[in-house]
């Protein structure tokens, strides 16, 4: 059983679904519904030409505790009904934690794709989730040796397998499709631009951090293209900052984009400014190779920093602007290979599941 619920989970599980199909292995696909908005979830499933989920739910934006308990209840019903040999989850969302808990309580093995990531920042709800899931999992598919070392230090009980990250598989598989299907560049009014995303609660729920972002984005040395997350737009409106950002001449706000459109923007931008974890990985894929400024205080993807792709610049306006200037100057010095693998992670994961769990 494969459980997804957010855009990054769908993207990163897509290569595993295809690898299972290639091996003629049966599976049940479940959308736990953490992102109930069409643009944030179902659109990606359709865009990537994945099968319609066998079970799909819409979980409204409750408090984190209520959301987690609601998903746990729904997934438990499905696990009882289909009796899977293993439940595969990916990442660190509330849906991942809830699905893993539902499986473990019913004595079903859990496989955690992208195990072992650590930011060591307990302000982040994702850090709680990923740690708990790792300690519940029978199979821990670590993307890198660094992730493996994190798991070994914590003495996890499950089997650790270093596989690479399926996000690299996904980029390599989908870039040719994206370039054929997407016309997003026709909508962008700048020839050269930086691509921005910001959505994490420790950032956008903090009015001071949000103010820093707005001031930095409106004063950048290069125009900004900003596909805005619904959560961020809501917070900007609440804090009376939406007008300043949306009317800025050097900022183009876009609605939430599909995955294929976003890939094309990543490939064609000058640099990426983000608080997303997955984008830090995607930017290192050979078809993209873009510098990333991480607007957070920490990252659970130190491999991207060590390889020279990413820089953690914090949330201060001045630091963001200085880092942008520097990144634009040195963009051509990036490595040719990604620290997150060569694009074979999904096949490796499926091989292990077939040999060990089925």
Q: What is the tens place of the pLDDT at every residue in 212-221?
A: 999 999 999 9
pLDDT band at 22 (very low <50, low <70, confident <90, very high): very high
Phi and psi for 339 in degrees, rounded to 5?
Answer: -75, -5
Query: What is the pLDDT, as a whole number, of residue 36?
Result: 58
d(CA 331, CA 320) in angstroms, rounded, equals: 16
Our CA angle for 215, 273, 144, nearest 5°, is 150
35 is catalytic: no
DSSP string of 180-244, one letter each residue: HH--GGGT---SS-EEEE---HHHHT-HHHHHHHHHHHHT-SS-EEEE--HHHHHHHHHTT-HHH
Structure-block tokens of residue 301 = 């993807």
> What's the chain's average pLDDT?
94
Query: What is the pLDDT, as a whole number, of residue 331?
Result: 64
pLDDT tops 70 at residue 336 = yes
Q: What is the pLDDT of residues 70-121, one digit of tens each?
A: 999 999 999 999 999 999 999 999 999 999 999 999 999 999 999 999 999 8
Domains and CATH numbers, the chain: 2-164+343-356 (3.40.50.2000), 183-333 (3.40.50.2000)
Higher pLDDT, 256 or 27: 27
DSSP letter assigned to residue 331: G
Catalytic residue among 174, 199, 229, 318: 199
Q: What is the pLDDT of residues 164-221, one digit of tens each?
A: 999 999 999 999 999 999 999 999 999 999 999 998 888 888 999 999 999 999 999 9
Stretch 43-48: mean pLDDT: 82
pLDDT band at 329 (very low <50, low <70, confident <90, very high): confident
User: What residues are paired with 227 via a beta bridge?
Assistant: 254
Residue 341: Cβ-neighbour burial (10 angstroms; 0-12, 13-18, 19+): buried
Structure-block tokens of residue 155 = 């003495």
pLDDT tops 70 at residue 39 = no
Query: What is the pLDDT, as a whole number, of residue 40?
Result: 61
Q: Which residues contact 293 (CB under 8 A, 6 or more apart)?
A: 271, 272, 273, 274, 310, 311, 313, 320, 323, 324, 327
Task: Give the H or E element holding residue 263.
Answer: helix 259-268
pLDDT tops 70 at residue 139 = yes
* Percent residues over pLDDT 70 in the chain: 97
Query: What is the pLDDT, as a whole number, of residue 6?
Result: 87
Q: What is the pLDDT of residues 260-306, one digit of tens each?
A: 999 999 999 999 999 998 999 999 999 999 999 999 999 999 999 99
Ranking 31-45, 70-84, 124-138, 194-208 by mean pLDDT, the lowest is 31-45
Enter the pTM of the model.
Answer: 0.91
Structure-block tokens of residue 36 = 């109930």
């Amino acid at each position: 059983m494969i459980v997804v619920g957010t855009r990054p989970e769908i993207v990163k599980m897509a290569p595993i679904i295809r690898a299972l199909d290639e091996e003629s292995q049966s599976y049940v696909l479940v959308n736990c519904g953490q992102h109930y908005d069409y643009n944030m979830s179902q659109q990606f499933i359709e865009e990537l030409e994945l099968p319609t989920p066998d079970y799909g739910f819409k979980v409204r934006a409750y408090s984190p505790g209520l959301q987690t308990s609601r998903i746990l209840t729904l997934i438990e019903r499905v696990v009882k009904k289909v009796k899977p040999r293993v439940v595969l989850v990916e990442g660190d969302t509330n849906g991942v934690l809830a699905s893993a808990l539902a499986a473990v309580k019913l004595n079903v093995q859990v496989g955690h794709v992208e195990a072992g990531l650590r930011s060591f920042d307990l302000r982040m709800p994702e850090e709680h989730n990923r740690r708990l899931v790792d300690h519940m999992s029978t199979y821990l598919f670590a993307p890198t040796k660094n992730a493996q070392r994190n798991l070994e230090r914590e003495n996890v009980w499950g089997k650790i397998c270093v596989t690479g990250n399926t996000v690299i598989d996904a980029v390599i598989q989908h870039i040719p499709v994206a370039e054929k299907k997407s016309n997003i560049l026709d909508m962008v009014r700048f020839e050269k631009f930086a691509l921005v995303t910001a959505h994490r609660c420790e950032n956008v729920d903090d009015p001071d951090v949000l103010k820093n972002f707005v001031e930095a984005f409106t004063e950048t040395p290069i125009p900004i293209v900003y596909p805005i997350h619904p959560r961020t737009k809501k917070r900007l409106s609440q804090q009376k900052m939406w007008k300043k950002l949306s009317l800025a001449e050097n900022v183009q706000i876009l609605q939430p984009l599909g995955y294929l459109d976003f890939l094309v923007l990543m490939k064609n931008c000058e640099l990426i400014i983000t608080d997303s974890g997955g984008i830090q990985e995607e930017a290192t894929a050979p078809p993209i190779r873009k510098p990333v400024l991480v607007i957070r205080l920490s990252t659970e993807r130190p491999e991207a920093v060590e390889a020279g792709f990413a820089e953690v610049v914090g949330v201060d306006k001045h630091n963001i602007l200085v880092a942008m200037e520097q990144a634009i100057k040195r963009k051509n010095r990036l490595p040719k290979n990604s620290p997150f693998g060569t694009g074979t992670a999904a096949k490796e994961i499926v091989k292990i599941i077939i040999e060990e769990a089925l």
